[in-house]
Structure 1
Amino acid sequence: MIELKNISKLYKTKNGEITAVKDVSLTIQQGEIFGIIGYSGAGKSTMIRLLNGLEKPSSGKVLVGGQEISSISGGKLRAARQKISMIFQHFNLLWSRTVEENIAFPLEIAGVKKEERTKRVNELIELVGLSGREKSYPSQLSGGQKQRVGIARALANNPEVLLCDEATSALDPETTDQILELLLDINKRLGLTIVLITHEMHVIRKICHRVAVMEAGSVVEQGEVLQVFQNPQAPITKNFVMQVSGKKEAKESIEQILEHFTSGKLVKLTFIGTKSEQPIISHLIKEFDIEVNIVHGSISQTTKGSYGNLIIQLNGKDSKVEEALLHLESLEIQTEVIEHA
């Protein structure tokens, strides 16, 4: 659906050239929700402008739906952009227009007849959960409602791709979750390809199927979200995962335990999918006659399943503890004996 081939983007300034994107290659499948995450200055905003043709790459190719966006201009580019819609961090609504008038605006530009416009606007208002607010102005809406208008407007011309540029950054956590659930529902209902640009790992974890991590203009890591959470490779990815997986608190707990650790073994267990819901602890105590002390635990939900960490202290006869560890490994639970934080 979307393919970036060795994309680079350089800007010339009075102080010399700045590389905003450096040799990036990505493939985004039709109907998936793909996240691009990075801190400020990582090149995310440039990436999204390359995807919709607002910027031309200095080198490389951008293909959307088989069409090379990076090599067309004029009417062909405008026609291609009708298949690529966008929602923004600060909504970008027309403040002098009502909800229904904002949603109808791109249909007016496209020359859609009034009767058809009205029908489409009503469908979209219901889809995004704004029934009853049709005549309201943006100043009368909450942040979440404004973003719902932005999403409805972006869907007006039946796009194939929806680009989301920090679409939840201006919202509180509860409203963020509601908007993410709406995007997930739209993705499932319409089969829409969604590209999310964000600096929040919670957003990636909540709805994305795959993720690319950017740093200093380069993609330093990419893969399925569950795999990235399970085994982050790049230091920046580890920092992002730590933000939402409780790993920072786990490290502090381990440090405190190790200061006074005199017996037994400290073990980290990693669960994936349904294994995170199994009664492992009670089974260990009953089956192997050992003491199990839970030091720290957390479960993160992704679109491909649960990912959990549990840090436990095992006390008992050495032979029984070893048997318990072998049993855990036989259940395909990743097991690591911890000797330092």
Structure 2
Amino acid sequence: MISIKGLRKVYTSDNKKLTAVDDLTLDIENGEIFGVIGYSGAGKSTFVRLLNRLEEPTEGNVIIDKQEITSLTKNELRSARKEIGMIFQHFNLLWSRTVEDNISFPLEIAGVSKEKRVKIVQELIDLVGLSGREKAYPSQLSGGQKQRVGIARALANNPKVLLCDEATSALDPETTNAILDLLVDINQKLGLTVILITHEMNVIRKICNRVAVMEKGKIVEKGDVLDVFSHPKQPVTKKFVAQLMDPGSEDETEDIENLLHNVNHDGVLLRLRFIGESTNQTLISQLAKKFPIDINILQGKITQTQTGGFGTLITQFIGNEKDISNAIEFIHHETSVEVEVIRNAD
């Protein structure tokens, strides 16, 4: 397990202090894919660089696999870093070296024999899907291929932890999905812990088990991805979730106001929230058969996470007040769908 306690990083410039990471405490389980999300300036990249001491912490400690990273000497840290791989947004490849030489580089530094290096490099090339590109130079590779080289290089010393700092931010959506699939495959095959830093909620949704939301250097919300997505508490988390559910908008309140303005006032406006197995329920069909009401679906989206689906439907129930009330009671007591009345009939 990775245990982080009271982690703080303060920069001083022109006699002014800037706190990039502020009293951060977090536990990450072995073998999980843990996401850290925040907008630019939230402190997430500083945080991940503190884990392997590419940045020196001002306060606090980091323990990885029972070893306190923050108390190691420089020589001890060099040895410990072999077990902490890292991939970067802009790849950080050696442009004068081929694919196989880039991957081999950390093994050369570690003093691994040439015969063993060749074997490990080929295994990694096969793992990340670069067979046939061994002799290519970075300038001859696509963005996705460059990141695959970066991933293979990060895995060269057989690390226990893989740190990913905005690893897909420079890639197009299709390539991003391919790299995320690769990270899941590596996580499952090698059993290593992945810590993924991003500002993209879709990245968290697709591969992470748990997530921490950062703002102004602090973790403001954390938990299982499905729980955080389906019941966001903090304004910043609600913005991320709104962006995921409707990429063209981050303001749910404004969306609801627009809906209220554009629909007639005859019925009751409801928000139906589907979580986990409830996303497979044929709720609208059941309601239409059981109750003499009309149901108008105004807006909605269902999306999937690693641990299940979640989503919302904004609906309008039109009909007799008692029938509508009975339908709402049915949802409350007979289904696992959450229901909220946004506006009653005028």
Task: State whether TM-score is above 0.5.
Answer: yes
Q: Secondary structure at 1:18's aligned position in 2?
A: strand
- Per-residue CA deviations over 1:150-209 (Å, capped at 9, x if unaligned) read 001111110000000110010011111111111011111111101111111111111111
Q: Does 1:292 align with 2:277?
A: no
Give the Cα separation in 1 of the matches to 2:255 and 2:222.
30
Q: What is the deviation of 1:94?
A: 0.9
Q: What is the deviation of 1:339?
A: 2.2
Partner of 1:78: 78
Matching residue within 303, 307, 326 for 2:306: 303
Partner of 1:240: 240
TM-score w.r.t. the length of structure 2 is 0.95
Asked if structure 2 preserves the Cα contact closer than 8 Å seen for 1:293 and 1:312, the reply is yes
Unmatched segments (≥5 aa) in structure 2 = none
Q: Does 1:327 align with 2:341?
A: no
Q: What is the deviation of 1:252?
A: 5.4
Unmatched segments (≥5 aa) in structure 1 = none
Partner of 2:194: 194
* Paired residue type of 2:311: G
Q: What is the deviation of 1:69?
A: 0.6
Matching residue within 277, 282, 303 for 2:280: 277
Output aligned runs, 1:208-287, within 5 Å.
208-246=208-246, 248=250, 254-259=256-261, 260-287=263-290
Give the Cα separation in 2 of the matches to 1:258 and 1:48.
43
Give the Cα separation in 1 of the matches to 2:224 and 2:234.
15
Q: Secondary structure at 1:139's aligned position in 2?
A: helix
* Paired residue type of 1:272: I
Identity of aligned residues (%): 60
Q: Which runs of 4+ in 1 moved over 4 A?
A: 247-253
Asked if structure 1 preserves the Cα contact closer than 8 Å seen for 2:240 and 2:250, the reply is no
Q: What is the deviation of 1:248?
A: 4.7
Give the Cα separation in 1 of the matches to 2:235 and 2:257.
20
Give the Cα separation in 2 of the matches to 1:39 and 1:286.
45
Q: What is the deviation of 1:105?
A: 1.0
Asked if structure 2 preserves the Cα contact closer than 8 Å seen for 1:3 and 1:62, the reply is yes
- Per-residue CA deviations over 1:205-261 (Å, capped at 9, x if unaligned) read 111111111111111111111111111111111111111112758655533442243
> How many residues are paired up?
340
The structure-2 alpha-carbon separation of the partners of 1:297 and 1:142, relative to structure 1 and needing over 3 Å to count, comes to same
Pick which of 256-265 and 13-22 moved more.
Answer: 256-265
Q: Secondary structure at 1:206's aligned position in 2?
A: helix
Give the Cα separation in 2 of the matches to 1:311 and 1:11.
46
Asked if structure 1 preserves the Cα contact closer than 8 Å seen for 2:31 and 2:193, the reply is yes
Q: Does 1:66 align with 2:66?
A: yes
The structure-2 alpha-carbon separation of the partners of 1:82 and 1:255, relative to structure 1 and needing over 3 Å to count, comes to same
Give the Cα separation in 2 of the matches to 1:37 and 1:135.
36
Asked if structure 1 preserves the Cα contact closer than 8 Å seen for 2:242 and 2:252, the reply is no
* Paired residue type of 1:303: Q
Partner of 2:341: 337
Partner of 2:206: 206
Asked if structure 2 preserves the Cα contact closer than 8 Å seen for 1:53 and 1:81, the reply is no
Give the Cα separation in 2 of the matches to 1:243 and 1:258.
20
Partner of 1:44: 44
- Per-residue CA deviations over 1:91-147 (Å, capped at 9, x if unaligned) read 011111111111111111111112211111111111111111111111111000100
Asked if structure 1 preserves the Cα contact closer than 8 Å seen for 2:239 and 2:251, the reply is no
Asked if structure 2 preserves the Cα contact closer than 8 Å seen for 1:253 and 1:295, the reply is no
Give the Cα separation in 2 of the matches to 1:8 and 1:254.
39
Pick which of 248-257 and 320-329 moved more.
Answer: 248-257
Give the Cα separation in 2 of the matches to 1:193 and 1:163.
9
Asked if structure 2 preserves the Cα contact closer than 8 Å seen for 1:253 and 1:296, the reply is no
Give the Cα separation in 2 of the matches to 1:269 and 1:45.
36
